[in-house]
Amino acid sequence: MASTDGAEVLVASNRGPVSYQVREDGSLTARRGGGGLVSGLSAIGPETGALWVCSALSDGDREAVRRGVGEPGVRMLDIPADVHADAYNGVANSVLWFVHHLLYQTPLEPVFDAEFRRQWASYEAYNRAFAEALAEEAAEGAAVVVQDYHLTLVPGMLRALRPDLRIGHFSHTPWAPPEYFRILPDDIARQLLAGMLGADRLGFLTQRWARAFRACCEEFAGGLGTTRVGVHGLGADADFLRRRAHEDDVADRMASLREEIGAGRRTVVRVDRTELSKNIVRGLLAYGRLLDDHPEWRERVVHVAFAYPSRQDLAVYRDYTAEVQRVAAEINERYGTPGWTPVVLHVKDDFARSLAAYRLADVALVNPIRDGMNLVAKEVPVVSDEGCALVLSREAGAYEELGEDAIGVNPYDVVDTARALHEALTMPAGERSERAKRLAAAATALPPAQWFLEQLQALRAEPS
């Protein structure tokens, strides 16, 4: 089945490097995809000869596939929209994402009913479509690196179709501990692990997630078998970020942000997808608490919070977005004065403006309940002009690498987060810039291109 001129290196992920939109005049415009996975993999350009297999996610993407429009080195799969919606919204984002991020809580608990079984069949079909496309595109003995929880079954399916391939899988999320993983129906828990264990090698972002995966295998699959496990802590792309952050559009955004902030004020910055695991509401509450506990900060600090739309097909994400907006408005109403808006909230995705905020940041607030890595925590210290202080959740994967120079917080503890914000705001300038230098060094230790290469070498080196 291998095509003789097939690709030697293949990457598979749900979201690809670009997405398309149909303009009113019928033409297509391309935009960069978002999220940690795409930021990491975008460094692997077409010049590496790798083929990136991804899903068509929007009507524009489907139209691009139909018209044969595309980027070199990218193959978009036009999986039927209803199958994709079941797999992506129903299984991947409502169940697997929640399990790995420990997000279930009353009344938001899973019900594994007939509807879920139908969605699960779509998840299998969607994974099969990827496995078949990869089997078709891969050269004899090629290396395939499958990405993330959307495609957990692909390694096993691909192994059955193409035993000659070197198959890797990389998780950009945490992995659930066994006590939580067992929320899943038995047969599905086993199928997920069997799918993963079809790979020669599995990659995780931290030791902690790798340990949890091993523990799940011990408990539900009789161990790892011959599959190897490695840890590759994806770092920030310093060269790209520093160059991009000094382009003109970023300078324009800095000027307008400065106006919104007001002269002489300190800036606490956060940039996230509006994602439950990012814990934006508790972050806002902590900022409100700071203004209560330390009224001396009133008029002297502004919280610049960017909460970009994510997974809006899911009601729980739409509700969360509304909650973020409500809490930000409440803080502004309660503490604001004619010349001072305590929270500047922006919800429209704008990468140049994110970089502008990074450059202006005195303090970065990154407080997820649980996060595979969190690249924002790694990007801000690299880009900030004056060297920012970092308030960082101990539950973010990035904490394993940045914990020494960040101010660690328990993300559930609003009072302690307020205390950490005060500590960050009052950190002496010299200490702050020394710490920021060390943070930036740790954050860029494994830049994306190297991160990918490291996995590829390990995958090729080991016996299959």
Q: Which residues bind ligand G6P (CB under 6 A)?
A: 15, 35-37, 148, 172-173, 310-311
Q: Residue 381 is encoded by which pair of tokens?
A: 């210290």
State the Cα–Cα distance between residues 156 and 160, nearest whole angstrom: 6
| Residues 6 or more apart in contact with residue 233 via CB below 8 angstroms | 205, 206, 373, 397, 400, 401, 445, 446, 451
Least distance in Å: CB of 251 to ligand G6P? 28
Least distance in Å: CB of 372 to ligand G6P? 6
Closest to ligand G6P by CB, 41 or 131? 41
Least distance in Å: CB of 449 to ligand G6P? 18
Closest to ligand G6P by CB, 86 or 148? 148
Three-state DSSP at 384 gives: coil
CA distances from 44 to 15, 73, 83, 152, 448 (A): 15, 10, 29, 22, 8
Least distance in Å: CB of 384 to ligand G6P? 22
Radius of gyration over every alpha carbon of the chain, rounded to an integer in angstroms? 22
The residues pairing with 168 across neighbouring beta strands, listed in sequence order, are 145, 201
Burial track 354-372 (b if 16+ CB lie within 10 A, e otherwise): bbbbbbbbbbbbbbbbbbb
Closest to ligand G6P by CB, 35 or 230? 35
| Torsion sign, CA atoms 30, 35, 41, 43 | positive
Closest to ligand G6P by CB, 311 or 378? 311
Closest to ligand G6P by CB, 127 or 173? 173
Q: Where are the alpha helices (DSSP H) in 138-176?
A: 154-161
Least distance in Å: CB of 380 to ligand G6P? 17
Closest to ligand G6P by CB, 36 or 447? 36
Least distance in Å: CB of 15 to ligand G6P? 4
Residue nearest to ligand G6P (CB): 35
Least distance in Å: CB of 112 to ligand G6P? 22
State the Cα–Cα distance between residues 234 and 445, nearest whole angstrom: 9
Least distance in Å: CB of 171 to ligand G6P? 8
Q: Residue 447 is encoded by which pair of tokens?
A: 């830049």
Closest to ligand G6P by CB, 175 or 287? 175
Least distance in Å: CB of 433 to ligand G6P? 30
| Torsion sign, CA atoms 404, 406, 407, 413 | negative
Nearest one of 219, 231, 225 to 181, comparing CA atoms: 219
State the Cα–Cα distance between residues 272 and 347, nearest whole angstrom: 10
Closest to ligand G6P by CB, 172 or 232? 172
DSSP string, 38-51: HHHHTTS-GGGT-E
Closest to ligand G6P by CB, 97 or 116? 97
State the Cα–Cα distance between residues 93 and 417, nearest whole angstrom: 28
